[in-house]
């Protein structure tokens, strides 16, 4: 935050695979941007189906091998459901339960016009089918959505802003209510079977960890508008954001978890040093 002398950052991987060069880059940037001792680690293990304890252990090991250090104990999202539920309760007056499946949404969106249905940082832009339902009728099979129109009305402000610190990353300096409604829409705050969505959890966690600068890939730039809106609604501070470039493979595709060949530990096994990894990602 402006005026705050300390810069606190975090690296927030999900233990759903081995860390690859893209993660090494993201972790090293987060550590570089932080003041000494203020680089934090957070394990984003909301999706119990896909997360594995073995991958979490591998994360700690690979990061330590890279030369990084962080305060313990680390924050783990799977242990923070109470905090997410409390935030969701606060937002409930601006929310509605949604029973639509992805197929329903696609059908509703593609009925009138041909071509690809519009998508934003939270996936397909929800057409509002369940918007008139009340939270009193929420059932265990429902997702919970934030009504963007009601959210902006509650804010009493129709513009979102945040400070971007990565040179060249700021693709737009602000987003207004109409841009949010047409480009992002009514986002999901809690999914069926999963207490919290990524968006709600990340906002609550960044505030609880007192993160002052969120460093992450440029692919999350547009999602940041969702996070700024949630921060405003929950009276949480908006940190600075640093959206860095993505590490791509030789064909120009961004690395994914399944790109095991680029896993840090495979380079380790082949005799690479942490310095080699830094060189490979251009740091």
Q: Which residues bind ligand GLU (CB under 6 A)?
A: 12-14, 44, 202, 216, 220
Checking 171-174 for CB contacts under 8 A at 24+ apart, the result is 171/221
With beta carbons less than 8 A apart as the criterion, state whether 17 and 266 touch: no
Pick 109 or 245: Cβ nearer ligand GLU: 245
Beta bridge partners of 170: none
Is the Cβ–Cβ distance between 87 and 227 less than 8 Å?
no
Strand partners of residue 162: none
Between 68 and 98, whose beta carbon lies closer to ligand GLU?
A: 68
Q: How far is the CB of 12 from ligand GLU (least distance, A)?
A: 4
Taking the least distance from each CB to ligand GLU, the nearer of 175 and 202 is 202
224 in Cβ contact with 213 (< 8 Å): no
Minimum Å gap between C-beta 188 and ligand GLU is: 16
Min. distance of Cβ 96 from ligand GLU in angstroms?
A: 26
Closest to ligand GLU by CB, 47 vs 104, is: 47
CB of 14 to ligand GLU, least distance (A): 5
Q: Do residues 245 and 218 lie in contact, with contact meaning Cβ atoms separated by under 8 Å?
A: yes
* Least distance in angstroms from the C-beta of 114 to ligand GLU: 33
Residue (38 or 216) nearer to ligand GLU, CB: 216
Q: What is the end-to-end Cα distance of the chain in Å, rounded?
A: 26
Coil, helix or strand at residue 273: coil
> 166: Cβ–Cβ under 8 A, 6 or more apart, which residues?
218, 241, 242, 243, 244
198 close to 272: Cβ distance less than 8 angstroms:
no
Residue nearer to ligand GLU on the CB measure, 12 or 34? 12
**Least Cβ distance, residue 219 to ligand GLU (angstroms):** 8
């Amino acid at each position: 935050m402006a005026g705050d002398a300390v810069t606190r950052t975090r690296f927030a991987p999900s233990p759903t695979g081995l860390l690859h060069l893209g993660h090494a880059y993201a972790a090293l940037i987060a550590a570089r941007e932080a003041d000494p001792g203020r680089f934090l680690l957070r394990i984003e293990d909301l999706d119990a189906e896909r997360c594995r304890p073995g991958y979490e252990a591998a994360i700690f090991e690979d990061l330590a091998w890279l030369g990084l250090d962080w305060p313990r104990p680390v924050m783990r999202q799977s242990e923070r459901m109470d905090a997410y539920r409390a935030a969701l309760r606060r937002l409930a007056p601006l929310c509605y339960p949604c029973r639509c499946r992805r197929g329903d949404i696609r059908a509703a969106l593609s009925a009138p016009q041909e071509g690809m249905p519009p998508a934003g940082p939270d996936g397909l832009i929800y057409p509002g089918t369940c918007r008139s339902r009340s939270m009193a009728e929420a059932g265990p099979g429902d997702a919970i959505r934030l009504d963007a129109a009601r959210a902006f009305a509650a804010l009493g402000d129709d513009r979102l802003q945040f400070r971007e610190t990565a040179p060249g990353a700021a693709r737009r300096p602000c987003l207004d209510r109409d841009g949010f409604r047409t480009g992002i829409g009514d986002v999901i705050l809690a999914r069926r079977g999963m207490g919290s969505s990524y968006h709600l959890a990340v906002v609550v966690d960044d505030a609880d960890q007192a993160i002052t600068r969120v460093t992450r890939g440029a692919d999350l730039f547009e999602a940041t508008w969702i996070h700024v809106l949630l921060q405003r609604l929950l009276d949480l501070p908006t940190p600075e954001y640093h959206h860095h470039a993505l590490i791509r493979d030789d064909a120009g595709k961004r690395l994914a978890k399944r790109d095991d060949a680029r896993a840090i530990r495979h380079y380790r096994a082949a005799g690479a040093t942490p310095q080699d990894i830094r060189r490979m990602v251009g740091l």
